[in-house]
Amino acid sequence: MGNSGLGKTTFAIALLKELGLETLIACNLEDLTKLTSNHKAVLFDDIHFTNLDEAKFLSLIQI
């Protein structure tokens, strides 16, 4: 959360890389179809979850 252009995503990517975590960067929900067992982290970048119903949201967080 925060204003655009502050470097939040860049910081998160650098941190996850430093930790050695294979990361999937998801800019939309369709990107989650690219998730494999090699990914150890998911970085949600500018995704809005306000339109998801409760069932879809719960299935999403159980990945």
Query: Is residue 20 included in any domain, yes or no?
Result: yes
Query: Is residue 14 included in any domain, yes or no?
Result: yes
| pLDDT the model gives residue 20 | 98
| pLDDT the model gives residue 36 | 96
Query: Is residue 3 included in any domain, yes or no?
Result: no
Query: Is residue 1 included in any domain, yes or no?
Result: no
Contact 26, 43 (CB under 8 A): yes
| pLDDT the model gives residue 63 | 66
Nearest Cα residue to 52 out of 34, 29, 33: 29
Contact 28, 18 (CB under 8 A): no
* pLDDT tens per residue, range 7-61: 999 999 999 999 999 999 999 888 999 999 999 999 999 888 888 888 888 887 7
Whole-model pTM? 0.77
Paired residues of 43 in beta bridges:
25
